[in-house]
Structure 1
Amino acid sequence: MKTANVLGLAMTVALAACSGQSAPEAAAKPAAEPAATSSAAAPASADAATATTAPAAAAPVGDARSLCAAGDDVVISCKVAGGAQLLSLCASKGVSDQSGTVYFAQGEAGKPDYVFPADKSAPAGRFKRTQLGFAGNTGGYAYSFEDGGRKRIFYSVSGERGLEEQGVLTVAGDADKAESALGCEPGSVVRNEDDALFKFTRSWDRDERIDQHGLPAKR
């Protein structure tokens, strides 16, 4: 059975509480994000070809709740529901478009098997951040990047009646359905965006595909 995409889930919950009319996609700032301890390690590069699938002994662990290196900030991280893997989007302290690093890592604690990008070049527009807005005070955001013809989307949606969902979708090209969907285990999400980091991620370009069509459906 097809799993509804997050947009459908959010709108269904919202419709139950509201009048049944969907609000247009909006760019509302997400609810305040709780501070947590950061950690991290890694790189950044402007090229899909710079990703690596090698086990990352090169990514030291600063916090068992993320794959970010010690001293780096956790933009968002979580444990995969029903598994041992972690999903982490990390940034070095004081990162900017021209300096520092932003990177995504996936794998078990201390042993990421996928890191993007593999080098340590500055972010320079590689990652995008798109606001998600639905009816009934429901919304969120999605971080996305492309690597080797595939897009990964780390999303977070919250709203009325305790709606809370985060995870990573992997999509081939502009497909409407995800090749894979990894959900975050409830209660495992970590964020540690200080004002400077939050302002930086908010300055990223929006993902035009997500802006126009919403999140891809899960298979």
Structure 2
Amino acid sequence: MAPKSKTAVTTIWKTADHHSPLSSFFSAVHPLSEGAIRCIDQNSHLLEVRKGKYLIKPSQEEPELFFILEGVVRGFIREEGKEITTWINEEHDVVGSIRSLGLKIPTKEYVQAIEHCSLVSIRYEIIEHLYENFPETNVVGRKLLEENYRGAEERAYICRIPSAEKKYKRFMDTNPGLINRVSLKYIASYLNMTNETLSRVRRRFPSSSAG
């Protein structure tokens, strides 16, 4: 039996198939058994989060993962009084403070909605239960981890490009849906450049309107 949260309330999913969007997403990654789908349906929950609100803060005791239905979310750390954006994700991405999962240590990362967001949340404790009891979910986890690793590799690559113009061009090419949705200050922080430099660079790309 899946572990229960003290405050858990089972969500009645008002979707066409009456399943959680998270179980539908996982099933599209790799087919799931009825038992795994039932477990996800019963232990995932719909959240509406206003722009600027936090999904995760440092020292959060119960780690969670979030599937973005609508909206944009960023991760950031605070260093010497500055916020440093470490990633930006949009619809149909699974997000959370990945570095602390499975280690049982507090995260140093904040996860924040930068648009009004609709999300599905699930506790990582439930993910571990799925891994232990439904072998096919390990395939889902592996494939999502591979995707996360590719994203981390892209972030490592883009921050090492010396030219500000080439950095922004790379961001445009790999994140076309974010260009005119995300505040300039977050993109500048992610690309490790000043707001002024980013504004100057954007003027060279007519397709980039002011954010």
Bigger proportion of residues as strand = 1
Give the structure-2-normalised TM-score. 0.26
Instruction: Return the structure number with greater relative CO, CA threshold 8 A, min gap 6.
Output: 1
Give the structure-1-normalised TM-score. 0.26
